[in-house]
Structure 1
């Protein structure tokens, strides 16, 4: 995922938390906010220290980035999204993380048909 498509600044995270909508399953929480003037999707990832050490947290973030990379063409554009990983992602493999992400995006109608 290119750096232009990432949310890094704390103010941007807080803006999405405050003004966006949220949806969750057991593994992930998604906050999303539509931005009509933006022509691409931007994603911020958050994996708390309670989930594990740096190696575990970085692996989960890598899985989420790769899942978004594979879903890039089918996710609605003009959105800012923040994805928060929950404890069960610690034991999940890539395909399980991707399946959980697709489930959330599908439920919130953020996938193109």
Structure 2
């Protein structure tokens, strides 16, 4: 579980992400990222009602939390990330989402090193 200081929570932080962040789009999710002024990374999750009912939205959040928890990826320093699942993600197995997450971070230079498997 992420520490509370590593989670984006308040409206001002999310608004700053929308105003200053850069988008990365994949088949299963979108990522909004920007550098922050803190000594640590922060991650947020946003799932709108259009994604599906509460069961689907909560599953998408759980899958993403697991990806970030088990991935043990060393993100670039001082980065804020917001994860937006896309429709259809709820039908895809965890390992596919995890692989897409890792390859997306590498492709866009958001990771320092990948875990050794």
TM-score, reference length from structure 2:
0.86
CA distance in 2, matches of 1:73, 1:102: 8
Match of 1:41 in 2: 41
Match of 2:91 in 1: 91
CA distance in 2, matches of 1:65, 1:10: 20
1:26 has 2:10 as partner = no
Q: 1:73 to 1:96 in 2, by over 3 A?
A: closer
Q: 1:112 to 1:70 in 2, by over 3 A?
A: same
Query: In the TM superposition, what whole-angstrom CA distance separates every residue of 1:29-63 from its partner, at most 9, and x where no partner exists?
Result: 1111112x312110110112122111111111111
TM-score, reference length from structure 1:
0.89
RMSD of aligned alpha carbons: 1.4
